Amino acid sequence: MSFPTKRKIVIAIDGFSSCGKSTFAKEIAARIGYVFIDTGAMYRAVTLYGIEHGAIHDGTVDAAQLETLLLRIQISFSFNEQRGASDIYLNGVNVEERIRRIDVSEYVSRVSQIAAVRNRLVHMQQEMGKQKGIVMDGRDIGTVVFPDAELKIFMTADPHIRAERRYQELLGKGEKVSLEEIERNIRERDHADQTRAISPLVQAPDAVVLDNSHMTVAQQMDWVMERIDKLTETSC
Ligand code: DC
């Protein structure tokens, strides 16, 4: 007798920054037992390596030097039970927290515009998704990394609402910030993501749009689980 098994798929989540993509992707992966890959963390890890090895300093990014350094970079993920998600490792060292710091955030957008960096990371991401059963979030997952993904979600939310959420989050952490500054930064990043020459943020024609401006996480999960259930319907 054969038991019905769920078909494994690739779930690609793209969208604007501060839309809650990673939280959403992490929750999906936990519910259905998939691997979650935060591709932004990979661009951040390369940036960190560049900072630590002299290719990035004093406001400059030496693209040629970074390209050479790429050959020495190994990136891997390992599940962290406490966090309920995978931590990123750079050459065997856990850098999950380090890559979120301000120095990395300041340079990562420029590093992510370097063709050699994108080529290397896209290749690694494609290898990670070969066996399917993966939820990947980023900016170019449904368009470049997995153009054949079975489920593509394009996440968006009103910039003012995104700023308000981020503001509350930072206040909760005790950081002093102004709502206006956050909103300006979000709008600037939206513009940079959409207008960069290489792999800009665009909605794949076959992506479904999730505007979560007025949705709770629970409502977003109901929305996505319905779609996943249909796509993974049992096969024998
Ligand atoms: O999601 P994040 O803020 O951690 O992403 C960090 C940077 O990397 C951000 O500038 C966008 C860029 N990025 C990208 O160009 N392509 C991806 N697939 C993921 C992130």
Q: What is the pLDDT of residue 173?
A: 84
pLDDT for residue 139 is more than 90: yes
Q: Is 5 exposed, middle or buried (0-12, 13-18, 19+ CB in 10 A)?
A: exposed
Q: Is residue 106 part of a domain?
A: yes
Considering only 7-16, 111-120, 182-191, which range has the smallest mean pLDDT?
Answer: 182-191
Q: Is residue 196 part of a domain?
A: yes
Q: Is residue 232 part of a domain?
A: no
Q: Is residue 118 part of a domain?
A: yes
Tokens of 117: 């960096």
Q: Is residue 233 part of a domain?
A: no
Tokens of 191: 């513009």
Distance 117 CA to ligand 1 centre (A): 12
Ligand 1 pocket test: which of 18, 139, 152 has the largest number of ligand atoms within 8 Å of its C-beta? Answer: 139
Q: What is the pLDDT of residue 169?
A: 86
pLDDT for residue 95 is more than 80: yes
Q: Is residue 177 part of a domain?
A: yes
Distance 43 CA to ligand 1 centre (A): 6
Q: Is 109 exposed, middle or buried (0-12, 13-18, 19+ CB in 10 A)?
A: middle
What integer is the mean pLDDT of 84-110? 92
Beta-strand ranges (E) seen in the chain are 10-15, 35-38, 56-57, 60-61, 75-80, 85-90, 93-94, 134-138, 151-156, 208-211
Distance of CA 194 to the CA centre of its chain: 15
pLDDT for residue 87 is more than 60: yes
Q: What is the pLDDT of residue 235?
A: 56
Considering only 99-103, 131-135, 224-228, which range has the smallest mean pLDDT?
Answer: 99-103
* Tokens 């900072």, residue located: 51
On whether the CB atoms of residues 154 and 208 are closer than 8 A, the answer is: yes
* Tokens 């190994």, residue located: 74
What integer is the mean pLDDT of 26-42? 95
pLDDT for residue 143 is more than 90: yes
CA distances from 130 to 59, 148, 162, 210 (A): 37, 12, 33, 26
Q: What is the mean pLDDT of the chain?
A: 93
Is the shortest distance between the CB of 139 and ligand 1 below 6 Å? yes
Instruction: Give percent above pLDDT 70 in the chain.
Output: 97
Is the shortest distance between the CB of 20 and ligand 1 below 6 Å? no
Q: What is the pLDDT of residue 3?
A: 54
Return d(Cα 210, Cα 123) in angstroms, integer.
27
Total of domains in the chain:
1
Is the shortest distance between the CB of 109 and ligand 1 below 6 Å? yes
Q: Is the pTM of this model over 0.95?
A: no
The domain that contains 164 carries what CATH number?
Answer: 3.40.50.300
Q: What is the pLDDT of residue 106?
A: 87
Of 227, 161, 141, the residue nearest 20 (C-alpha): 161
Domain of 100, in residue numbers: 4-227
pLDDT for residue 36 is more than 90: yes
pLDDT for residue 170 is more than 90: no
For atom 15 of ligand 1, which residue has the closest CA?
112
pLDDT for residue 1 is more than 60: no
Tokens of 208: 């479904």
Distance 233 CA to ligand 1 centre (A): 32
Return d(Cα 9, Cα 129) in angstroms, integer.
9
Of 29, 22, 37, 27, the residue nearest 8 (C-alpha): 29
Q: What is the pLDDT of residue 175?
A: 80
pLDDT for residue 138 is more than 60: yes
What integer is the mean pLDDT of 49-73? 97
Q: What is the pLDDT of residue 127?
A: 97
Q: Is residue 85 part of a domain?
A: yes
For atom 2 of ligand 1, which residue has the closest CA?
40
Distance 4 CA to ligand 1 centre (A): 38
Q: Is residue 43 part of a domain?
A: yes
Q: How confident is the model at residue 69 (pLDDT cuts 50, 70, 90)?
A: very high
Dihedral angle, C-alpha 19, 130, 30, 38, nearest 10 °: -30
Distance 40 CA to ligand 1 centre (A): 4
On whether the CB atoms of residues 10 and 134 are closer than 8 A, the answer is: yes
On whether the CB atoms of residues 5 and 69 are closer than 8 A, the answer is: no
